[in-house]
Structure 1
Amino acid sequence: MVSERDSDFAVTGLVLAGGRASRMGGQDKGLIAIAGQPMVGHVLARLRPQVRELLINANRNEADYAGFGAPVVADRMPEFPGPLAGMASGLAAATTPWVVTAPCDSPLVPRDLVARLQLALQADAGDLAVVESAGRLQPVFALLPVRLLGDLEAYLAAGERKIDRWFGRHRMAIADFSDCPEAFINVNTPEERDALEHRLHNEESGADRA
């Protein structure tokens, strides 16, 4: 939990881009463009002002991801074992005590994600904090302490993969984002990509007219 000593604790932003993206025909989702920029670029741009440093978890196209100016860390386990493996790699690579995670396919990441996760962590005296929106947990949007790396590695080594089950092993604070559920839209299909592209285009057109 957060103490007075680390009330201004530093955070690393970790973008999770290590999945197979099977519903996108195997395309690397983070590199698919929306509104003129790859999705990972949108996520990085929104996280950058909120954190001390950035990392990208990716298991392919490493050179392309490195072009966004953040170190790339791969899963340390084979066969795309899921987001917990990416989180473990990020915790191992971070030089700050805390890591905030967000997926590469959610380009509308809240600009106050870290601040609200920190507030929830402090209010609930949590070990970690997770977003809740639209009545359900959004477990890939989380604030995690590096000190839990050993526990996470042991959990993965035992063959466990369920992210909510690992969170449940610790005191979990909930950050309520019910006021902005659309911030956690993720793109899993070409149709969802097209719909979000249309929405962003309309928003930009509206801003230009304002």
Structure 2
Amino acid sequence: MVNHRNNTPRTKVSISGVILAGGQGQRMGGVDKGWVPYQGVPMIERVVSRFQPQVDELIINANRSIDAYRALGLQVVPDIEGGFQGPMLGIATGLQAAQHDWVMFVPCDGPFLALDLVEHFYQAACESNAKIVVAADGEFLQPMVVLLHRQLLPNLLQALEEGERKPDRWYASVGMAKVVVDSDSLRNFNSLDQMNNV
């Protein structure tokens, strides 16, 4: 079980959180990235400790190491279709499993997640009236750090059925707001070399 803080800013509405841990980890040699240790602590535990205080329920989307993820005391949901079909399927799975209308997604390999991330994204959603709020680092979108409204689930399922697998392209087709986030808090690891150089 992971210990959590209680002094993190919270939104006035209930928000579900989903950690995307369902990938193949190809650029890390096929390992399950959530369980790769960073400074002696598995990355999934670092993400949970920073993310869980910001949301009202926390779900992990994973396609392997299911029992290990469940041992964290969280709900774990595998993709609604098998075959490691990419993060859009994980997002659809998370939207289906979530109890609340707004759902915040983050990757399992982002151990520096901002402690006020969800608050900023929900504020941007209110100000823009957008149903999709996605992170940007000032130059590029970071499509795995995104707040979505569950109303978009039918649209997303339709896009998947039509073969769409690129989240940023789907976001653009629906309409999105962007939140510029400090690049350090968005830093994730796609290789062991990257991790060792931090």
TM-score clears 0.5: yes
Shift of 1:9: 2.4
Residue in 2 aligned with 1:8?
12
Q: Does 1:192 align with 2:194?
A: yes
Identity %: 38
Structure 2 gap segments, 5+ residues each? 1-10
Q: Does 1:129 align with 2:130?
A: no
Residue type of the partner of 1:67?
A
TM-score by length of 2: 0.91
Residue type of the partner of 1:194?
N
Contact 2:21-2:62 within 8 A present in 1 as well? yes
Q: Deviations over 1:99-123 (max 9, x none)?
A: 1000001111111110111111122
Taking the aligned partners of 1:83 and 1:186, their CA distance within structure 2 comes to 15
Residue type of the partner of 1:76?
I
Shift of 1:45: 0.7
Contact 1:9-1:97 within 8 A present in 2 as well? no
Residue type of the partner of 1:190?
L
> What is the total number of aligned residue pairs between the two structures?
188
**CA RMSD, aligned part only?**
1.2
Taking the aligned partners of 1:33 and 1:172, their CA distance within structure 2 comes to 34
Q: Does 1:76 align with 2:80?
A: yes
Contact 2:138-2:180 within 8 A present in 1 as well? no
Shift of 1:125: 1.5
Residue type of the partner of 1:183?
S
Residue in 1 aligned with 2:43?
39
Taking the aligned partners of 2:148 and 2:127, their CA distance within structure 1 comes to 16
Residue in 2 aligned with 1:173?
177
Taking the aligned partners of 2:91 and 2:124, their CA distance within structure 1 comes to 20
Taking the aligned partners of 2:161 and 2:12, their CA distance within structure 1 comes to 33
Q: Deviations over 1:120-159 (max 9, x none)?
A: 1122121111111131111110001111111111110111
TM-score by length of 1: 0.86
Taking the aligned partners of 1:194 and 1:126, their CA distance within structure 2 comes to 38
Larger radius of gyration: 1
Residue type of the partner of 1:82?
G
Taking the aligned partners of 2:115 and 2:56, their CA distance within structure 1 comes to 15
Structure with more of its chain in helix, by fraction: 1
Residue in 2 aligned with 1:87?
91
